Structure 1
Amino acid sequence: MKAPNAIHRIRSGLLAATVLLLTAPAFAETEVGITTDMAEFEVRHGDELVTVTRDQDTFATIDLDYAQIARPCPPFCIQPMSLGPGVETLGELEFIDYLQQTTERDDLVIIDSRTPREYQRGTIPGAVNIPWDRLHFASGADPDDVRNVLTEDFGAIFDGDFYNFSRSKTLVLFCNGPWCGQSPTNIRTLTNLGYPAERIKWYRGGMQMWHAFGLTTVEGETDG
């Protein structure tokens, strides 16, 4: 007959093994998953399908472009968690959920609000570039170009005087990170123009947190 302590150790070992099996990723070949049941996913970027994963090097560190922790404020000030009533702030997994939906929905746009140069150097797969100053009249935005973006890209209807946003698309915007004001500027510009706040989502973590999690980036698609 086994001693009580020995029986307790056996039961504890079996319990630990069961917990390990229940919590282990369902993808044994991938050491660094996105979640416990997601190792990767595909998103369309331009004409190609891109597989998004995390860096499998468990000793990898963040890209030096996003290692800087102090920038002059203003303009690089910490952004609030909420940009206004109705605008939803997204974490990484919620943002990934919208990325996955882009392969099935044509009423959803993922927007990199950074400069064209930043976008071309590296962006999140599936994102198109609408720089913050392209819609910002105080920064020299062309009213005709703004109207084209709203109607041709975002699905608004312009009757010559007013915009009708009843069929406008859901927009998910990001920029460099929680200290970056480019996507908040785009979002405030859009809501000031009457764009429905409930159709605007904000990935606050942006490129900084995307890099921090070692997720896939691609070169931005250009027209040229």
Structure 2
Amino acid sequence: MKFVKVLMLTTLVGGVALTTQLRAEEGNQITPGLQSVEVMHGGEKIMITRSADKNAVMPKSFAKTSRHCPPFCIQPASISAGVDTVGELEVLGYLKRVSDGDRKVMVVDSRTPEWIIRGTIPGSVNIPWNRINVDVQGAFDVSAEADTLHDILINQLGVQDVNGNLDFRNAKTLVMFCNGSWCPQSSSNIKTLLNLGYPAYKLKWYRGGMQDWVSLGLTTVNK
């Protein structure tokens, strides 16, 4: 009987040790109750986790602290009344909603393509800031080149064109980000959308952007 108890205790302790080891190999917890978030990116399933590498450092692309202002001035904590400033856990929550099939939400990387190849948030959609932050008066010329601001609003963001007027009732909730608290690209886009009539409550701003994301060891993809 004593042998059986010793064997059971050894097995239990070994099991706990193995579980702890597996968790360490999988990566740090995001929160005490959240290990990872699965999203779709480029048609592939990506698991967002935190790096378990104790020697990991900030990627060189996001390690620079001295940036010329203007244009790279420190952004305010709040852009406009009604627009929520969100953090990483809220972004993960919205990504989870998208992964679960919620087509009324979109996480938008506002940076230009040369930045995307250095790393972006899995599950986000790239709409470069200069495709939204354009001359609004000329943005609705149907003879203009494809992928105008009007095209983006109608084809990607869920806005409807009703006899030349923009209807935002079915517009998507957008979570917008760029490089970090010094980056004006996503905040400029949000201001432009607000001026067009986009509802403030449907706009969320991840102010920390990529610099905060990578500083926490969260997963990135470079496409």
* Counterpart contact for 1:133–1:141, Cα < 8 Å: no
Which of 60, 64, 69 aligns to 1:68? It is 64
- When residues 140 and 174 of structure 1 are mapped into structure 2, their CA distance, relative to the original with a 3 A threshold, is farther
Aligned residues: CA RMSD? 1.7
The aligned amino acid for 1:30 is R
After the TM superposition, which parts of structure 1 deviate over 4 Å for at least 4 consecutive aligned residues? Answer: 139-142
* Counterpart contact for 1:62–1:212, Cα < 8 Å: yes
The aligned amino acid for 1:134 is R
Please give the per-residue CA displacement for 1:201-220, whole angstroms capped at 9, x wherever unaligned.
11111000111011111122
2:23 corresponds in structure 1 to: 30
Secondary structure at the residue paired with 2:107?
strand
Percent identity between the aligned chains? 45
TM-score (norm 1): 0.82
- When residues 205 and 188 of structure 1 are mapped into structure 2, their CA distance, relative to the original with a 3 A threshold, is same
- When residues 139 and 150 of structure 1 are mapped into structure 2, their CA distance, relative to the original with a 3 A threshold, is closer
* Counterpart contact for 1:133–1:139, Cα < 8 Å: no
Q: CA deviation at 1:99?
A: 1.0
Unaligned residue ranges in structure 1 (runs of 5+): 1-26
Which of 122, 126, 129 aligns to 2:119? It is 122
* Counterpart contact for 1:135–1:141, Cα < 8 Å: no
Secondary structure at the residue paired with 1:218?
coil
Unaligned residue ranges in structure 2 (runs of 5+): 1-18, 143-147
Q: CA deviation at 1:117?
A: 1.3
1:171 corresponds in structure 2 to: 174
Of 155-164 and 75-84, more deviation after overlay is shown by 155-164
* Counterpart contact for 2:39–2:47, Cα < 8 Å: yes
Secondary structure at the residue paired with 2:99?
coil
Secondary structure at the residue paired with 2:174?
strand
1:217 corresponds in structure 2 to: 220
Distance 1:176 1:141 in 2: 28
Distance 1:35 1:177 in 2: 22
The aligned amino acid for 1:202 is W
Aligned residue pairs total 194
Secondary structure at the residue paired with 1:75?
coil
Secondary structure at the residue paired with 1:65?
helix
Distance 2:85 2:77 in 1: 7
* Counterpart contact for 2:61–2:118, Cα < 8 Å: no
2:158 corresponds in structure 1 to: 155
Q: CA deviation at 1:171?
A: 0.5
The aligned amino acid for 1:51 is M
Q: CA deviation at 1:163?
A: 0.3
